[in-house]
Amino acid sequence: MTDANLLQLALRREQDIFEVRQRGREAAAALGLEHQDQIRIATALSDIGRQMLVHAPNVEVRFTVTGEPPNLRILMHTKGHLDGQTIAPVGRLVDVLELTSDGQGTTVMLSRRLPDDHVSAERVGEVKRMLASSAVASPLDELASQNEHLLSALDEAHRQRDRLEVLNNELEETNRGVMALYLELSSELEETNRGVVALYAELDDKSGQLRAASEAKTRFLANVSHELRAPVTSVIGLLRLISDPGSDPLTAAQAEQIGLIRASAADLLSLVNDLLDLAKAESGRLDPMWTQVDLGQMFKQLRGTLKAVLTTPEVELVVDIPEDGSWIESDEALLSQILRNLLHNAVKFTDRGEVSMRARCEERSWIITVADTGIGIAPAHHERIFEEFYQLPTRQKVRGTGLGLPYARKLVAVLGGSMSMESEPGRGSVFTVTLPVTRQP
Amino acid sequence: MDRVPILKIGPVLLVSIQVDMQDQMALALQEDLGQRIVDTGCRGVIIDITGLDIVDSFVGRTLSTIASISRVLDAETIVVGMRPAVAITLVELGLSLNGIRTALNVERGMELLARRADEDDFAEPDFVDEHEISKSP
C-alpha cells in the first residue's frame, strides 16, 4: 500500500515529548501492535525526541503507515545536528532506525512492522481520525496556532487592502474619464439643443409667414373671382341679347365672331367659378352637408352627363354601377363634383380606348377608381398636376383651367378621404379616391 | 509545577511516581528527596514506579542519580513496581540502573530495607553492589 499519513506533530519543548510519545503509543495500539511494542515505540520516541531537542528547538514528527507488508514509520526531522552514536541504542527497540543528514538538517526514521499483513485504507483513515480527535493541544500550542492564523489573516487583509487600493485607483481614473466624456457630451448636446431651438423658432416663423401668404392668396383669389364674375356675366347676357333673333340681324361674319366671343366668355365664367370654388375650399369655409348617398344612383347620373361630353366614338365610357345598397355618408354635391372632375379630366386626355369608373368597398372604405387609356403622365409630373393652374406641357390644344384636379383633391380632403394616382406616359392614368364609408369625426 | 509527594512511613521514605515525570519534576524530586533524607534521617527510600508506563533513558538516568545521591546521604534506594514491559524496554535500550536495588512491590521493598537495617546493626555498612535490573530479586 502507499504511504498514508497518520499524524503530524511539532516538538518544541520538553513537555511536548510526553504528547509525542503518548500519540506514538496510541498509534501503535490502534494499528494492532502489542503492548510491549507500544512501550518500545513510545520509549524510542521519547529518547530521540530529547536528543533532538538538545540541538534544535523545533522537531517535526510524522507518523505514517507505509510499505508492503505494512510498517508503522515515524519520521523525525530537525534543523539541528544529531550524533548517530547517541541514539544507536534506540535501534534495538524498533526494526529499522536510520539517520540521514543533509544541509537542511537531520532526519531520523523509525520503522516497526505491523502485525497485520494488510492494513486497509479504511483502517488507516479510522486511526487517523481517532488520533486527530484525541489530540490535546497545550494552551501554548493553541496560542501559537492562533497566532499563526492571525498573522496569515493579517497578511491576507494587507493583500486585500492593496488590491482594493489598486482597484480604487483604477475606478477613480475611469470615473474621471467618464466625467470628462459626460461634460463634453453634455456641452455638445446643449449646443445642438440651442441650434434646434433656434431652428424651430425659425421654422415657426416661416410657417407663420407661409400661412399668412396662403391666406392672402386665397383672399385675393376669392375677391378677384368675385369681382370678375359680375362683368363676365353681364358680357354673356349682352352677347345673348345681341345674338337674339329679335335683335337686329347680323351678318354671317358678325354672327360667327359673336359666337367666338360667347364661347370665350363662357370659358372665362367657368374659370372664374372654378377659382371661386377653389378659394372657398382652401379658406376652409366649405362645409359639407353630410347625408347618406347612394353610390349606384350617383354613378348612373354621372354616366348620363359624361356621355354628352364624349366627342369621339373611339373612346368608350365604362361605368360599373355598384350593386344596390352601396351607401356612403358624404356630401352628395361635393362627391359628384370630385368624380365629375376626374371623369372630365380623363375624357379630355384620352383619344381612343376607354374611360372607366369603378367602386369597391374595402375595410370600411369606398375605393373609387377612374382609369383612362390616355396619354398618361410622366413620373416627374405626378405631384405637380395637383398644383393650381398646372397643365402638362404636351397637349396645348386641350382647353381647361388647370384647376380641376387640385380642386378635386381639396374636396376629397374635406370629405375625410385621400386621393392618389398612378400613371405611365402612353399607357394611361388611374386616379384612386379613398373615402370612409361613414363620416370620420 | 507538580511535585512528587514524598511520604515518610516509619524509617522509610516512600516516593510514589504516578504520572509521567517531566524533567523539571525529576530535578525537583532529586532536591526534595535529599532534603527529606537529611531532615528525617531515614535510611531507606522506596521509589514506586507502578504508575510509569514509559521509562526512557532520561528517567532511567534520573533514577540512578537519585539513588546515588541517597547513598551518599546514607540511605538505600529501592525501585519497586516496575512493569515487565518497562523492564524489557530498559534492557533492550542497554540501560543499567546503576546503584539501584529493585523489588517487585512496596511490601517486598520494605522487607528488603528492614533486613538491611538489621544487618547494619552488626556489620559495617557495605557498599551496595551494582545490580542490573535483570538480576533483581
Interface contact B20-A42, CB threshold 8 A:
no
Q: How far is CA A126 from the centre of its chain?
A: 64
Sign of the C-alpha dihedral computed for residues A367, A372, A376 and A381 taken in this order: negative
| Cβ-based neighbour number of residue A419 at 10 Å | 20
Mark yes or no for CB contact A25/B53 under 8 Å: yes
Domains and CATH numbers, chain A: 4-137 (3.30.565.10), 291-436 (3.30.565.10)
| Chain A residues near residue B93 by CB distance under 8 angstroms | 43, 47, 89-90, 92-93
Interatomic CA distance for residues B80 and A375, integer angstroms = 145
What's residue B47's pLDDT? 92
State chain B's mean pLDDT as an integer.
82
Residue B89 to residue A40, Cβ atoms within 8 A: yes
A214-251 tens-digit pLDDT: 888 888 877 887 788 888 889 888 888 888 888 888 88
Across the interface, which of B22, B57, B85 has its CB nearest the CB of A15? Answer: B22
Q: Chain A residues with CB inside 8 Å of B25's CB?
A: none
Compute and round to an integer the Cα radius of gyration of chain A.
59
Taking the CA of residue B136 and the nearest CA in chain A, the distance in Å comes to 20
Q: So what's the pLDDT on residue B137?
A: 43
Q: Which residues of B touch A42 (CB under 8 A)?
A: 53-54
Shortest CA gap B93–chain A (Å)? 5
- CA B70, CA A429: separation in Å to the nearest integer? 145
What are the DSSP E strand ranges found in A295-427? 315-319, 327-330, 353-362, 365-372, 418-424
Q: Are B23 and A21 inside 8 Å of each other by CB?
A: no
Tell me what the mean pLDDT of segment B98-127 comes to.
Answer: 77
Buried b (16+ CB within 10 A) or exposed e, A289-312: eeeebbbeebbeebbeebeeeeee
What does the alpha-carbon distance between residue A437 and residue A303 come to, in Å, rounded to a whole number? 22
User: Do the Cβ atoms of B86 and A35 come within 8 Å?
Assistant: no
Which residues of chain A are modeled with pLDDT < 70? 1-2, 135-139, 141, 388-402, 441
Is B94 close to A90, i.e. CB distance below 8 A?
A: no
State the pLDDT confidence band at B134, using cuts at 50, 70 and 90. Answer: very low
Q: Is A48 on the interface with B (CB under 8 A)?
A: no
Pairing of strands A96-102, A71-78: unpaired
Whether the CB of A307 is below 8 Å from some CB of chain B: the reply is: no
Amino acid identity for residue B26 in this structure: A
B40-90 per-position pLDDT tens digit: 998 899 999 988 888 888 888 888 889 999 999 989 899 999 989 888 888
A-interface mutation test, from B21, B49, B54, B57, most A Cβ less than 10 A away? B54
Domains, chain B, with CATH or none: 6-135 (3.30.750.24)
Name the residue among A42, A43, A50 with its Cβ closest to that of B93.
A43
Residues from B in contact with A at Cβ < 8 Å: 20, 22-24, 53-58, 85-86, 88-89, 92-95
Alpha helices in A310-376 (DSSP H): 332-348
Would the CB atoms of A89 and B95 count as touching at under 8 Å?
A: yes
CB contact under 8 A, A42 and B53: yes
pLDDT of residue B136: 43
Of A14, A15, A90, nearest to B93 by CB-CB distance is A90
Phi, psi of A80 (to 5 degrees): -85, 180
For chains A and B, count residue pairs whose Cβ atoms are closer than 8 Å: 50
Tens of pLDDT, residues B27-38: 889 899 999 999
Cell representation of residue A165:
487600493
Q: Show Cβ contacts of residue A284 under 8 Å, excluding neighbours closer than 6 positions.
A: none
Q: What is the pTM of this model?
A: 0.45
How much of chain B exceeds pLDDT 70, in percent? 86
CB contact at 8 A, A411 and A336: no
Q: Is A33 on the interface with B (CB under 8 A)?
A: no
Is the ipTM, as predicted for this complex, more than 0.85? no
